[in-house]
Amino acid sequence: MTTPDFLSLGVPAPIVNSLKASGKTEPFPIQTDTLPDTLSGRDVLGRGKTGSGKTLAFAIPLVARLAGPLAGGKRRAGHPVGLVLAPTRELATQIDEVIAPLAALYNMTTTTIFGGVNQKRQVNALRAGVDIVVACPGRLEDLMKQGFITLDAVEVTVIDEADHMADLGFLPSVTRILETTPANGQRMLFSATLDNGVDRLVKRFLHNPVMHSVDESNSPVAAMTHHVFEVATAGAKKELVEMLASGTGRRILFMRTKHHAKRLAEQLNASGIPAVDLHGNLSQNARDRNLAAFGQGDIKVLVATDVAARGVHVDDVELVIHVDPPTEHKAYLHRSGRTARAGHAGDVVTISLPEQRRDLAALLRKAEIDVTPVRVTASSPEVAELVGEIAPKVAPRPRQEQQHGGGSSQGANARRKRAARAGGSGDYAASGNNTRGGQQSGYNGQSTGGRSGRPAGNGAGSSRRPGVGQPAGTRGTQRRRSGNR
């Protein structure tokens, strides 16, 4: 049987040529199944495993229909015609990176909307007028209430990772947003799973939808090889993690908490293994910077919490390591789905202590993963085979000397706070010096700047410590994201 190509599925020639230029010539099953319906305007439920090509499956019809049958008149400020809802800012950003070049073929513009950053850039983009908005529900609702965006002109709405929206408690917000879009617009819902209340969205907002399920929602990827490495002690686990992280290819290490993710990244960097962390405590600029360093290959090791399991779409991740096993099987599958993407092979390692054996066995049973645990150490042949070539160690960058003076607030309230931290000494209350006899003060030993007790900014007399694991050549830089692509 001949495999259909994008053109035979009805994809417009400009988009086909753009896909071909980027090396995409054959559609994946989820695209082959859904494109005939989505391009004709049908409401669609698309379910495919993580890494199955869902993003392109809705990006193509979104752009093709808005550029063709639904093409409107003059672009209006604050009135987009296309809307994509995503649960996390990382996922929103990466969806926009797929849609934007396709939209540009038809002189359409896109922007992202999410929290955790100043809204000025987003508001300016809306005022200038955008065709397609990729948004997280919380910030989108905020801007709707402020009157910066109205959804009455939306012709096509996409909801991605709908089950994760439900897990995060976003369904009420998503419902309110969808209520403001035209009832006769096209709606597409894509997700790895369709449970936890997602069916209520389907019944209320999709009209005679066609359901396409390429794979069982919780089934593992065939090209993914699973391993369970059991270690005897916490010390042996630490050595094993360092060995698994020491290869030359991209790998993601998952931790359960933000604090542990940050600490592990610091430990790996101190051991000569460049690593960056990704978790909710980082600013958006830091998250963008770290994810860019990993995606561009400057750094090969990413240490992440589950925030990354839905938002990291990076090719050629050869190894996923569950340093901390997740608490439920869906999280295991979504974490693991960062490897073996788009037809590539990959390995998944779960590290277990003896006391975790029973819980892990139950989790893997629910995930339908059949794997026999192996007792290992960092020097075991099973580990060496998986790690492959060891990357050269990189000397940790020396910590910068902190500067003092000129960066501390000299107000009476700031002096009182510094005096209190120094034990109430009247000398400190009366002087403008930093606390503790001129030693560093503030968060993580940084010199204080502005109001006492907060990290220093970049003003005169202050020194900001670069993010741990931030690659050389990227410090002090930020990826500028244009509101319009």
Q: Domain limits of the chain?
A: 13-213, 224-387, 405-473
Mutual angle of helices 258-270 and 234-244, in 10-degree steps: 70
The whole-number pLDDT of residue 390 equals 93
Looking at CATH, the fold of the domain delimited by 13-213 is given as: Rossmann fold (3.40.50)
- Give me the residues paired with residue 85 across strands: 135, 159
The whole-number pLDDT of residue 412 equals 53
The whole-number pLDDT of residue 224 equals 80
Helix, strand, or coil (residue 455): strand
Q: How many helices (H) and strands (E) does the chain have?
A: 18, 14
Residues 224-387: name the CATH superfamily.
Answer: P-loop containing nucleotide triphosphate hydrolases (3.40.50.300)
Question: What is the rounded CA–CA span in Å between residue 208 and residue 195?
Answer: 19
Q: In which order are the strands placed within the sheet that holds 317-322? A: 275-278, 301-304, 250-254, 317-322, 346-352, 224-230, 374-375
The whole-number pLDDT of residue 217 equals 43
Q: What does the DSSP assignment read for 99-145? A: HHHHHHTTT--EEEE-SSS-SHHHHHHHHH--SEEEE-HHHHHHHHH
At position 299, the amino acid (one-letter code) is I
The whole-number pLDDT of residue 482 equals 40
The whole-number pLDDT of residue 397 equals 67
Question: What is the rounded CA–CA span in Å between residue 14 and residue 320?
Answer: 36
Q: Dig out the tokens for 92 from the structure.
A: 């929103």
Question: What is the rounded CA–CA span in Å between residue 441 and residue 439?
Answer: 7
The whole-number pLDDT of residue 284 equals 78
Q: Give whole-number Cα distances, 165 to 142, 195, 286, 408, in Å.
A: 17, 11, 24, 43
Residues (pLDDT < 70) of the chain are 1-2, 48-52, 69-73, 192-196, 214-223, 307-312, 340-344, 397-485
Assess contact for 455 and 415: CB atoms under 8 A: no
The whole-number pLDDT of residue 332 equals 87
Question: What is the rounded CA–CA span in Å between residue 49 and residue 341?
Answer: 10
